[in-house]
Amino acid sequence: MALVLLSILGGYIGIAIGAVLNNELYETLFLIVGILSPALITLERIYKEMTSKSD
């Protein structure tokens, strides 16, 4: 649940940054990065945890 909220918040921040730059391309790019970044951080933590347990 927290990951979903972080993704929504990140997407909103991305849209806000893109709107300040007055370019739809930037809005879209920052939205995608904002939505995906919490998921990527979580996947990285899971990967590190799994690799440290296997060693």
Tell me how far apart the alpha carbons of residues 30 and 16 are, in angstroms, rounded to a whole number: 9
- What pLDDT shows up at residue 55? 62
Segment 10-14 long-range contacts (CB within 8 Å, at least 24 positions apart): 10/34, 10/35, 10/37, 10/38, 11/35
The length of the chain, given as a count of residues:
55
Q: What is the pLDDT along the chain (55 residues), one digit of tens a residue?
A: 677 777 788 888 888 887 888 878 888 888 888 788 888 888 888 888 888 887 6
Task: Please state the pTM of the whole predicted model.
Answer: 0.61
Q: Is-contact 35 14, C-beta < 8 A?
A: yes
